[in-house]
Amino acid sequence: MKTVRQLLQSKGYDVWSVSPGTSVLDALKLMAEKNIGALLVLESGRLVGIFSERDYARKVILKGKASHSTRVREIMSRKVVYVRPEQGMEDCMGLMTQKRIRHLPVMEGGELVGMISIGDVVKSIISEQEFTIRQLEQYISGGPTD
């Protein structure tokens, strides 16, 4: 089973973030520009929260707040669930399902090293399953294996 570290090595270590004082509108613009569903919230290089489309929908739109005057600190999720690089995809999938979240920051030794999404995890698991199926098909047919 692939680890988070292996996934990051193939997908990249890019992490998009904002500070707590960023306006929600500016955060949304960055999310749209980068085509992502969540931003990490960093203060002095330290992870202090996560801001997602869900936070926006539930804490701005439904409460009638204005995106240009509301700050990320007011609506970000402060309890950030994260994973370590040595964890496997099944751990990540279980955690995301249990906590009902779609993004996991990756922390190593207290440092932020990346972020993965549910899409990254699902693609990784499907890729591994496809590889296993090809191997089994070749084994059954007596053909060469990769």
The domain total for the chain is 1
Q: 21 in a domain, yes or no? A: yes
Burial of 18 (0-12, 13-18, 19+ CB in 10 A): buried
Q: Domain with 52 in it: what CATH number?
A: 3.10.580.10
Computed over every residue of the chain, the mean pLDDT equals: 92
Residue 146 has pLDDT above 70, yes or no: no
Supply the range of the domain harboring residue 25: 4-141
pTM of the model: 0.83
Each residue's pLDDT tens digit, 95-140: 999 999 999 999 999 999 999 999 999 999 888 877 777 888 888 8
Q: 52 in a domain, yes or no? A: yes
Each residue's pLDDT tens digit, 25-59: 999 999 999 999 999 999 999 999 999 999 999 99
Q: 22 in a domain, yes or no? A: yes
Q: 146 in a domain, yes or no? A: no
Q: 81 in a domain, yes or no? A: yes
Taking alpha carbons only, the member of 72, 73, 85, 76 closest to residue 111 is 85
Helix, strand, coil in percent for the chain, rounding step 5: 45, 25, 30
